[in-house]
Amino acid sequence: MNYLYLYAAIIVTIIVLYSRRHVKKVATDTSLLKESIQSGLAEPPSLHPIFDPVRCIGSGSCTTVCPEGAIGIVNGKGVLINAAHCIGHGACLAACPFDAIKLVFGTEKRGIDIPHISTDFETNVPGIFIAGELGGMGLIRKAAEQGRQAIASVRKRSGGTAEYDVVIVGCGPAGLSAGLSSMHHKLKYKLIEQEDSLGGAVYHYPRQKIAMTAPVVLDIVGTVKFGEVQKEKLLEFWNGVVAKTGLQISFRERMEAIEKVDDGFLVKTNKGSYVTHSVLLTMGRRGTPRKLDVPGEETHKVVYRLVDPEQYKGQAVLVVGGGDSALEAAIALSEQPGTHVILSYRSAAFSRVKQKNRMLLEQGEKSGRIQVMLNSGVKEILETEVVIEAGGQKQNYKNDAVIVCAGGLLPTPLLQKIGIQFETKFGTE
């Protein structure tokens, strides 16, 4: 009988502890949702989940696998509590045991332009193909499969006198897969990537986060039998594939224009021009980072997103921007030993940022770890310094690295210029 009382006591204790933790988590999620709405950050920027209130039972499976902490449980149902940070990789969709999640583009208030593509991944402009995130597929496994299938469609058009059979723009999962398929089928290809690393959006995931949850098939490599795999391991694997296969990637090469020519297309980049029979666009929806357009910006010490604060330990770092990404970068950097941070913003005040980030920034400024410069602008980036103008006066500051968090320019206008048609999605698949 005593054992029964003991077991009952243990069960009651477990239930009480679980209930307390659950109540605390729900309160936190509700608070984050309110903060997001008050800050004007409740609109997701791209592909994102919506929750069926009938099917959803608030199990929390989706919250556990979300790398960005964008999903919470409010009133017993799943909800985006941090919509601005959702990047649409779809891990929540795969994790939901009750099929209560759909991935959609846009909301009732904010539409998102998605290009028209055929079942062969060809746009309405013959010879221009789209695969992956730009075409509406954020899942890594499916994006890679689309890259492989798109090259199968490109092969049907290959031939002629053009320098290349295909120019592939972007080296995320779809572009990497397309490049391997091009090698496998002995196509003349050119693979360009505007950043200095492969991986696309995956490269910018938070450290240690789950990036892929299902096997993927790559030409030359075969079936990659990963279960759950963290970002770092996946990127290490992809870099190993590039090294072993000899896949040629031109990094820091940005597409600037596509023009129709007699034997296909002329693709213009910041490094050259290429005549190709077909073009496969596999870039993401983050777009091309908005540049400062100042002397010295082309140097390697300038990047457009903070990935790992620890690599800037003990350095003098300039962060440029006035949104949450800029504030969060400055705060994270200031927490590294010996790192001095300047945050430069062109306006007189920060708008549409979370109150928590405002408070942490103020704390960093008061402690002397962050120097905030409003109404300022970067004028020149030098090897060991940066020139900033504020109050009509220019001044040189010691500098080891520059992180520009000024948003991105989507390729939509460029693609519309060559005739690609788009449909605006308002919360639809």
Per-residue pLDDT reduced to its tens digit, 244-260: 999 999 988 989 999 99
Phi then psi for residue 220, to 5 deg, are 75, -45
Report pLDDT for 237: 84
Q: 58-88 as b/e, with b when 16 or more CB fall inside 10 Å?
A: bebbbbebbbeebbbbbeebbbbbbbbbbbb
pLDDT at 124: 92
Strands 222-224 and 216-218, bridge-based pairing? antiparallel
Give the pLDDT confidence score for residue 243 in this predicted structure. 92
- Chain mean pLDDT for the chain: 84
pLDDT band at residue 423, thresholds of 50, 70 and 90?
confident
Per-residue pLDDT of 336-384, as tens digits, reads 999 999 999 998 888 777 778 888 999 999 999 999 999 999 999 999 9
Question: What average pLDDT score do residues 302-308 get?
Answer: 84
Query: Tokens 């870099």 sit at which residue?
Result: 239
Greatest extent of the chain over all pairs of C-alpha atoms, in Å: 90
Q: What's the one-letter identity of residue 267? A: V
Q: In the chain, what percentage of residues exceed pLDDT 90?
A: 37
| Per-residue model confidence (pLDDT) at position 102 | 87
Q: Which domains does the chain have, with CATH numbers?
A: 2-104 (3.30.70.20), 113-287+410-425 (3.50.50.60), 302-407 (3.50.50.60)
pLDDT at 323: 86
- Residue that has been written with the tokens 């408070």 in this structure: 359
pTM score of the predicted model = 0.68
- What is the per-residue DSSP string for 9-33? HHHHHHHHHHHHHHHHHHHHHHHHH
Question: Angle, nearest 10°, between helix axes 231-245 and 173-184?
Answer: 20
User: Per-residue pLDDT for 292 more than 80?
Assistant: yes
Give per-residue pLDDT as tens, 162-189: 899 999 999 888 999 999 999 999 999 9
Share of the chain above pLDDT 70, in %: 83
Residue 370 — φ and ψ, nearest 5°?
Answer: -130, 130
Q: What is the mean pLDDT of residues 135-146?
A: 77
Residue 234 has a pLDDT of: 78
* Structure confidence at residue 283 (pLDDT): 86
Task: Give me the pLDDT at residue 217, please.
Answer: 84
pLDDT at 345 (0 to 100):
93
Look at residue 357 in the predicted model and tell me its pLDDT.
85
Q: DSSP assignment, residue 396? A: E
Tens digit of pLDDT for each residue in 50-63?
Answer: 889 889 988 888 88
Burial degree of 371 (CB within 10 A; 0-12, 13-18, 19+): middle
The CA-CA-CA angle for residues 404, 170, 180, to 5°, reads 145
Statement: residue 5 has pLDDT above 70: no
What is the structure's pLDDT at 429?
61
Annotate 72-104 with DSSP letters as a single string.
EEETTEEEESSGGG-----HHHHH-TT--EEEE
Q: Is pLDDT at 406 greater than 80 in this prediction?
A: yes
Chain-centroid distance of CA 214 in Å reads 20
> What does the pLDDT average to over 187-207?
76
Higher per-residue pLDDT: 15 or 369 = 369
